[in-house]
A and B are shown apart, each in its own frame.
Chain A
């Protein structure tokens, strides 16, 4: 029996103290990119939930409370790296350079949606920035990322796969298969677990009896560590460590980022049914943006008017994106027959002609 320590990374404490030993090397400009992304993200999230509640998009899954864990981790990646998202990482999407317009085109299933309106809202992806399309099926992205990371290692691509999943996903088959394979073949994969304490309504303590989720990595022969998911600098430091290690060919790492979903699981969920207001308030106070402001003050970089300016910019950006999406119109019906066969099969051609004839008839009747 040996005792193994699961390292916990925290840079900025809740009361604003900065641990300089753990502090990642970031330029002022990089810090402001993170800061601005968090503001953009928070503004975006608030408006999206309102759009759903007012019936302008059909569904939304928000990441309020978890902004830092997705944003900071994706910031540790290079351009050639790949993201295998869960469904609660719009912060990672913004960092990869996916615009708010692109996201909204998807949420509203418009003609300008990369996915041509074929996925339910919040299931976006963008090949141009190596951002794999989101799947609601819990953990299915983990084997994809294990395979992706293995391929990158075999091909000496100098690239890394980063995969996001929640605490609930650790009980799935795909978690077990993915991490075990990655351990054996030293895949260049970072397994990023956003432990937000609830798998929809199942609390963490009913999910598994292990002390931490990070220690599950030991069962697959690689390192697991924890980070404070509300502290974007800790998140970045943990991610950078794991990403660099994978890039050097030293195999996978699992990071358990301790966070909390302040909002509902999705627009279809009512979290008051399964958790207490006191708990939510406790976590609301561990606000990510406030932690960044502490850091900025520590550096002497905080400026209230700049904070206000960034918020205003973000509001304008979201408004522009919504307007663009609401005017984009739906995809043409013919697109449903595209992208599977190079040429339409006779059966598809028949269906195409039937539908065209029907629409023509309907138009004439109107």
Chain B
């Protein structure tokens, strides 16, 4: 007989729905820190609203909004140090913003024009930046889990006291990369935080069809790692649980699987119609648990903000987003020849040839060079 600890129904919650708090669980934070979190959550909401409008009016091609999931991303990322690593899924603009990625670049990435730091090479909502240790978002489900595991393992081997935090959804838990990543992370006790945004739906597949496990955090037992569940619409609960996980990882205790219970109030992406697979009642019930509203009630009750402060902050973030759009929109397209950059230090002959052809500057010499090089492909 072996006893196994299974993370069951218990959920860490700090802010009650009415905005009162369970003070003994509350993370120690200054007013400044609270304001920064709150403002970032508002900024995510404003960015999402604007970007969805831009998409609907044909000004950007695609967008992934995160309405309702602001607390998960902002709260968890706020716990990390600048030198830590984040491997996002694709619904964590708030994590990028907390790490100092400017909203202007988020918007610019959606436009894919000259203002885009990624030179227009990714579809919209697939941002990332080396400067903030924020790995570029990738649409294949769960791929980032193995990257984060490897990054964390490398840091452990190098005795570098940094942690990696990886985001994924409930659907990703059925993926190969989840199984491989968490198993490996468990065996090698890597400093990784596996953060599952359980928003109840993998596009149209409901949570109960995803796995028969009573909880997602319970899957931690199968990999011999820690597991925790928190209310993902309660930013302080997210902060609290992530802090513990980061501390555990930095102390050499290995990974933690966090399940944050949340809800995607908008569509999966601008290409999705969620009314096809979920009820209006369900959405309404979750709208009442809006993470921004919950936090606002708490902050007002604590005297950290007034109703007027909130209005000012909302106006402030709206302006920030509008300014970003104004600065980005109308910029020139990325020069087509830039597609030949950033892979080779020096462009090989066959790519030079293609570039020249693209630019209509095929020189007589290029073809000769190509023929001479035959049989020596590619370099």
Contact = CB atoms under 8 A, between A and B. Distances in A.
Contacts of B179: 171, 173, 175-176
Q: Which interface residue of A207, A221, A222 has the most chain B CB atoms within 10 A? A: A221
Given A218-B6, A218-B222, A5 B1 contact: yes
Interface stretch (B57-65, B93-101, B211-219): B211-219
Interface string A199-223: 0000000111111101110111110
A6 B186 contact: no
Contact of B174 (A177, A212, A215): A177
B211 to A, nearest CB: 5
Contacts of A212: 2, 4
Interface string B159-201: 0000000000000001010111001001101000000000000
B265 interface: no
Contacts of A154: none
Given A173-B176, A208-B186, A210-B221, A219 B1 contact: no
B10 interface: yes
Contact of B213 (A1, A8, A218): A218
B1 A8 contact: yes
A177 B212 contact: no
Interface string A49-83: 00000000000000000000000000000000000
B224 A208 contact: yes
A222 B211 CA distance: 10
Nearest to B216: A219
A183 B208 CA distance: 11
A268 to B, nearest CB: 26
B2 A209 contact: no
Interface in B217-245: 218-219, 221-225
B372 interface: no
A1 B6 contact: yes
Contact of A219 (B3, B5, B218): B218
A272 interface: no
B186 to A, nearest CB: 3
Interface in A144-200: 171, 173, 175-177, 180, 183-184, 186
A4 B213 contact: no
A184 B209 contact: yes
A208 B183 contact: yes
B7 interface: yes
Contacts of A171: 179-180, 183
Nearest to A217: B222
A29 interface: no
Contacts of A209: 183, 186-187, 189, 223-225, 254
B129 to A, nearest CB: 31
A1 B8 contact: yes
Interface string B7-34: 1101000000000000000000000000
Report the contact-size class of chain B (Cβ under 8 Å from the partner). 20 to 34
A3 interface: yes
A7 interface: yes
Report the contact-size class of chain A (Cβ under 8 Å from the partner). 20 to 34
Contacts of B187: 206-209
Q: Which interface residue of B1, B2, B8, B178 has the most chain A CB atoms within 10 A? A: B2
B132 interface: no
A326 to B, nearest CB: 45
A152 B225 CA distance: 35
A1 B211 contact: no
B7 A3 contact: no
B210 interface: yes
B10 A1 contact: yes
A6 to B, nearest CB: 4
A177 to B, nearest CB: 7
A251 B214 CA distance: 15
A221 B212 contact: yes
A226 interface: yes
Contacts of A8: 1-2
A4 B4 contact: yes
Interface in A1-59: 1-8
Contacts of A226: 2
Contacts of B211: 180, 183-184, 219-221
Contacts of B180: 171, 173
Nearest to A175: B179
B212 A220 contact: yes
B219 A219 contact: yes
A3 B4 contact: yes
A219 B4 contact: no
B7 A218 contact: no
Contacts of B6: 1-4, 218
A220 B223 CA distance: 13
A220 B4 contact: no
Given A2-B8, A171-B183, A180 B3 contact: no
Contacts of A211: 2, 4, 224
A28 B183 CA distance: 45
20 contacts: A1-B10, A5-B2, A6-B3, A6-B4, A173-B179, A177-B174, A177-B176, A183-B212, A208-B183, A208-B223, A209-B183, A209-B189, A209-B225, A209-B254, A212-B4, A218-B213, A218-B218, A219-B211, A219-B213, A220-B211
Interface of A: 1-8, 171, 173, 175-177, 180, 183-184, 186, 206-212, 214-216, 218-222, 226, 251
Given A184-B211, A210-B224, A220-B211, 20 more contacts: A1-B6, A2-B5, A5-B3, A5-B4, A171-B179, A171-B183, A184-B209, A209-B183, A209-B223, A209-B225, A210-B186, A211-B4, A212-B2, A215-B2, A216-B222, A218-B213, A218-B221, A219-B219, A221-B211, A251-B212
